[in-house]
Amino acid sequence: MVDGGVDIVEVGFPYSDPVMDGPVIQQAAEISLKNGTSAEDVFDVVASTTVPTLVMSYWNPISRYGVRNFAEKLSASKGVGVITPDLTIEESDEWISATSDSAIDRVYVVAPSTADHRLAKVTSACSGFVYAASLMGVTGARTTISGSASELVNRIRNVTELPIAVGLGVSTAQQAAEVAGYADGVIVGSAFIKLVLESATIDEAVLRVRTLAEQLAAGVRLR
């Protein structure tokens, strides 16, 4: 992915109940858990990268690992932040304290249904960037990007100066270019994972992932 031009990497922490994710990421998480992937494996991947790297994790694995321990371990692994899709700001006091002490960015997810007053509250708790979900629904590649995505980005810009990255549904260079026209970052997950799941060998998976990364990066840089 990095060789193909990806600027930031998101490492998913596999979880048994990934409610925000569609069938592709659910299948990958199931395979990962069956193969015994642990928190230490996740941190090892983070430590091995050469670009800024975040972890995407549901709250339960963080809580089970120990909130402060998780933040400290991620910082020690050169991680720069965590995306927490199911953590509300009302339940974030311990997380905000731990991440602040470890200099880890907090990335919360907002959606088209998020009211304006709520946007202000959530983005004020974010650091690093804001994750804008392009539509209501689970992760997964789609043929078109929801028109509500650009509207949501405009609403977010009214309440924060943080960069805004858009995710959910992007899988092609054309879509990446479209999103890059109004957002600061383009998040792609399922499209990469689908290629890995469909590949017969590691070498084939690496080649296909690098090729997609090159196409997406080219699309983003057009804008």
Q: pLDDT tens, 166-216?
A: 998 899 999 999 999 999 999 999 999 999 999 999 999 999 999 999 999
Extents of the domains making up the chain: 9-222
Q: DSSP letters along 85-136, please?
A: TT--GGG-HHHHHHHHHHT-EEE-EE-TT--HHHHHHHHHH--S-EEEESSS
Enzyme catalytic residues: 10, 21
**For 100-148, how does the pLDDT look when each residue is reduced to its tens digit (9 = 90+)?**
999 999 999 999 999 999 999 999 999 999 999 986 454 444 444 556 8
pLDDT at residue 135, as a whole number = 65
pLDDT at residue 134, as a whole number = 82
From CA 93, how far away is CA 98, in angstroms rounded?
9
Which fold is adopted by the domain 9-222? TIM Barrel (3.20.20)
Question: What predicted TM-score, i.e. pTM, was given to this entire model?
Answer: 0.91
Token pair, residue 114, equals: 């998020």
Enumerate residues 6+ apart whose C-beta is below 8 A from 90. Answer: none
pLDDT at residue 46, as a whole number = 98
Average of per-residue pLDDT values in the chain: 93
pLDDT at residue 141, as a whole number = 46
pLDDT at residue 145, as a whole number = 52
Token pair, residue 163, equals: 């960069």
Which residue would you say has higher pLDDT here, 140 or 88? Answer: 88
Nearest Cα residue to 140 out of 27, 58, 222, 37: 27
Looking at residue 184, what DSSP letter applies?
S
